[in-house]
Amino acid sequence: MSFTGKYELQSQENFEPFMKALGLPEDQIQKGKDLKSISEIVQDGKKFKITVTTGSKVLKNEFTIGEECELEMLNGEKAKAVVQMEGNNKLVMQMKGMKSVTELNGDTITHTMTLGDLTLKRVSKRI
């Protein structure tokens, strides 16, 4: 199953408390909470390029499954991580105490990030 495509954010749960826990300033959280981000994913075998555009902010990450890489987090920090694939539709990674799971089901991507006892769940649909 290929992740390649463009996806628009449909819904999210726990955005504000999760962003506060990451250390984002309140004004950035308030600006970002109602924006519909667009994620563009290009998959070439085990190589991925992911571009997330939220308003004027663009977050770009590239990685190869199973290889260490440096990824930019939602708060702008960079951290080293290894992304693993479970089955053919789930990307899993641990980074700076945060677990990220991205699961593709048909035209829907569910991205769940867990930090301590906080979980941010974002659902996006292919456009």
Q: What is the pTM of this model?
A: 0.90
The amino acid sitting at 89 is N
3-state secondary structure of 46: coil
Instruction: Give the pLDDT mean for 94-120.
Output: 95
* Residue at 105: amino acid letter: N
Token output for 99:
């677990």
Confidence label for 36 from pLDDT (cuts 50, 70 and 90): confident
What domains does the chain contain, in order, with CATH numbers?
5-126 (2.40.128.20)
* Of 50, 76, 54, nearest in space to 63 by CA: 50
Write the pLDDT tens digit of every residue in 55-97: 888 999 999 999 999 998 877 889 999 999 999 999 999 988 8
Residue 75 has a pLDDT of: 75
The CA distance from 116 to 99, in Å, is 9
Number of other CB atoms surrounding residue 9 within 10 Å: 18
Sign of CA dihedral 51, 39, 33, 71: negative
Percentage of residues of the chain with pLDDT beyond 90: 74
